[in-house]
Structure 1
Amino acid sequence: MLYIHGFNSSPLSVKAVQTRDYLAANHPGVGFYCPQLKTNSRGAIEQLENLMAHHAGQENSPEQENSLEQENSRWLLIGSSLGGYFAHYLAEKYALPAVLINPAVKPYQLLKEYPSEQTNPYTGEVYWIGTGEIDALKALESNISLKNNYLVMLQTGDEVLNYRQAAAKYQDCHLHIHNGGDHSFVGYQDTLPDIMQFFQLPLPVR
């Protein structure tokens, strides 16, 4: 499973940690990956694709081919906010299932309004958003070819993104709209069983 964090976020974000811990407790055979993304979109996508290729090669090695620890050898994508935009791109390119949490639909428009100098609060990294980054983000915009590959979860109280944009784009997909909440997606932990069911992972044995 590949969890893709959002803008100015990190693998230490609440949702990333909750996902990791839930998998460890309920689906220990599913590997969890959540890299600290590079701050430019081209670099982030290259980083994610390299990670996917590297670990897919490991999973297909003879030593692991018949491992009972592997519940699912497919890549399963979860993306939050800008990570949802990246997850959509990868899902389309590689025909993978993806869960999108309050996803950005047109981040290149939103980031035009942001200060050019940014600091990631988790890492302390200072970087700049220029026109090249805006253009690179726009180049990643993708249509939907496999609507059943997406579970999209929105909260109407999102104070950063207008949930209606995502609701319109993903209206023909598996779409869950929750009243209230905020951009962080309040109660995310409670949705994890539904997310695992969408990914067709077996119910945990109690």
Structure 2
Amino acid sequence: MKKIVYLHGFLSSPKSVKAQQTVAYCQQYYPDSIEIVAPQLANTPEQVAIQLAKILREQDIIGFIGSSLGGYLASYCAAKTALPAVLINPAAYPYQLLSDYLGEHQHPYTNEKFVIDEQFNAALRQFDVTTQELQALKISVWLQTEDETLNYKEAEEKYKHNELNIQAGGSHAFDNYLECLPTMLQYLFNHQFVK
């Protein structure tokens, strides 16, 4: 079976609505050919780096889907593998955004406690891919203009050389995700090669 890796956002989970919709859709329409790999990402960049290194060693991956912070990480994975990625309302510069969230946090799905500090944000930079580097990658970016968490214009600028799908309205959760999912998956299928 070919694999698509789904990377969730900050303080989210493989149990999130989009992750579950992705799994259910592929089970319904691609039961014998596509498996969605949706890991519970760790709370610290150092641990996420270890997780991603392990995932990127797996065989049969054909692409990545990432939402919010997961979109930022999916760009990194695409750069490391040259595989295609679909980014949904991606965090363009999460280390800047999370500067507003310094202090202790508790993950709502895992109940684990962790601290966001300047070291945390500095460690997030290891996953950054520049606009120039992104230009060579097969990345489809999906943005909604009424994203209440992220300024979509930052992602629009960062990914200006990639395929952009900008929808008026919506939200950070990406309101009509299930409706767009077939097109997103088709992008991965059209640009696939098996790693």
| TM-score normalized with structure 2 length | 0.89
Aligned to 1:136: 123
Q: Give the drift of 1:96.
A: 1.2
Aligned length: 184
Which secondary structure state, in structure 2, belongs to the residue aligned with residue 32 of structure 1? strand
1:31 to 20, 35, 44: 35
Counterpart residue type for residue 149 of structure 1: K
Q: Runs of 5+ in structure 2 lacking a partner?
A: 191-195
Residue 40 of structure 1 pairs with residue 44 of structure 2 = yes
Aligned to 1:187: 176
Give the number of the structure whose residues are more often strand, by fraction. 2
Q: Which has the larger radius of gyration?
A: 1
Counterpart residue type for residue 52 of structure 1: L
2:11 to 2, 8, 30: 8
Whole-angstrom distance in 1 between the partners of 2:125 and 2:137:
24
Which aligned pairs between 1:30-179 and structure 2 lie closer than 5 A?
30-53=34-57, 55-56=58-59, 73-143=60-130, 144-147=133-136, 149-179=138-168
| TM-score normalized with structure 1 length | 0.85
The answer as to whether partners of 1:45 and 1:86 remain within 8 angstroms in 2 is no
CA RMSD after TM alignment: 1.4
Which secondary structure state, in structure 2, belongs to the residue aligned with residue 2 of structure 1? strand
What is the percent sequence identity of the aligned residues?
42
Q: Runs of 5+ in structure 1 lacking a partner?
A: 57-72, 202-206
Whole-angstrom distance in 2 between the partners of 1:45 and 1:148:
20
Whole-angstrom distance in 1 between the partners of 2:62 and 2:188:
10
Whole-angstrom distance in 2 between the partners of 1:145 and 1:16:
24
